[in-house]
Amino acid sequence: MNNANIRKVLIAGGSGFIGSVLKQQLQKHGFETCIVSRMPRPDSITWDDLNQNGIPDGTDAVINVAGQNVLDPMRRWTPGFKQNVIASRVHTNQMLVKVINQCDSQQKPKVFASISGVGYYRPDAIQIYDENSTGGDHDFLSKLCTDWEKASKVGDDHTRNVTVRSGIVLGKNGGIIQQMYPLFFLGLGAKIDSGTQHMPWIHIEDICNIFIQALRNEKFTGVINAVAPEIVTNEQFTKTFARLLRRPSFLFIPAQIIEFIFSSERAVMMTQGQKVISKRMEELGVQIKYPTIEEALKNILK
């Protein structure tokens, strides 16, 4: 089932935390890469270039990992910012689908893989969600996931669609670890509220590996939850993080403070959680390099 014909990959959002590691990993595996960015950069095209000239010649696969950072504490949760959050996900997918569909059938990329989030599933302390579970309609962020995923559908037999519905991505140079590291380093690491909320997560190398396998293996289709098999709570994550840094972790941040900083609509991502498993990763035989939070954080903090 290896799709060995894929060589050149266009990565929208390839300058970001996930995108830059994905780009490196793809290159290490012998793929040629080109980025779509808002800014002119080396080895990249801008969204305007894409709109005007279409997909670069010879593009075999397209990946979208673009998206305005939802948890930027410096940005207020205004209607304008929310519009940016939507546009950077839904409109980028729509644009990519448009240019994919403009290609002649022989020139069409063979795969379009796009990221989404486990915020699709309604927070719940007990329920276990897999790819067949319903969701995507209970709040702003879950509806965003629905629209984001819907906008990625090419609707054509020539291009295989893959949706990587990801947990929190853990890695050195971005995301939650980069945001929290200074506090934990200073011994101010704190669980959020009761800390009992679940926190679906995945190591950055493992999610990049899922994208790479999605290009190579035609069995990768539809939604794939990208989560590590070990289900942890916010408290377990906090304690492990602090212990590996040899720092205390007896503090907690009340939900009200998180809601004050981020607004209640987006604070949900930290104050509530869901237990998510990946049936599809299991079915597809995806090997996870960092299955436990201990192994993942040890690797990141070393």
Residue of 109, 117, 189, 200 interacting with ligand NAP (CB under 6 A): 117
In the complex, the smallest distance separating the C-beta of residue 104 from ligand NAP, rounded to whole angstroms, is 27
Residues 149-168 that bind ligand NAP (CB under 6 A): 166, 168
CA distances from 294 to 2, 202, 204, 241 (A): 33, 12, 14, 8
| Site map (CB under 6 A) of ligand NAP, residues 49-68, x = contact | ----------------xxxx
Residues 209-248 that bind ligand NAP (CB under 6 A): none
Query: Which window, 36-44, 50-58, 103-111, 155-163, contacts ligand NAP (CB under 6 A)?
Result: 36-44
For residues 193-216, one letter each, b for 16 or more C-beta atoms within 10 angstroms of the residue's C-beta and e for the rest, the string is: bebebbbbbbbbbbbbbbbbbbbb
Please, which residues have CB within 8 angstroms of residue 215's CB and are 6 or more apart in sequence? 3, 6, 9, 31, 61, 111, 113
Q: Is 146 in the site for ligand NAP (CB under 6 A)?
A: no
Of 180 and 183, CB closest to ligand NAP: 180
The CA distance from 93 to 110, in Å, is 16
Would you list the DSSP string of 93-118? HHHHHHHHHHS-GGGS-SEEEEEEEG
In the complex, the smallest distance separating the C-beta of residue 240 from ligand NAP, rounded to whole angstroms, is 17
Q: Quick one: how far is CA 276 from the chain centroid?
A: 14
Residue of 15, 159, 163, 233 interacting with ligand NAP (CB under 6 A): 15
SS3 151: coil
Query: Among candidates 73, 83, 79, 96, which has minimal Cα distance to 13?
Result: 96
Residue of 10, 18, 45, 228 interacting with ligand NAP (CB under 6 A): 18
Of 25 and 166, CB closest to ligand NAP: 166
| Site map (CB under 6 A) of ligand NAP, residues 67-96, x = contact | xxx--------------x---xx--x----
Q: Is 109 in the site for ligand NAP (CB under 6 A)?
A: no
Q: Which amino acid is at 189?
A: G
The CA distance from 92 to 16, in Å, is 15
Residue of 109, 175, 195, 273 interacting with ligand NAP (CB under 6 A): 175
Q: Is 19 in the site for ligand NAP (CB under 6 A)?
A: yes
The contact set with ligand NAP (CB under 6 A) reads 13, 15-19, 37-39, 65-69, 84, 88-89, 92, 115, 117, 166, 168-169, 174-175
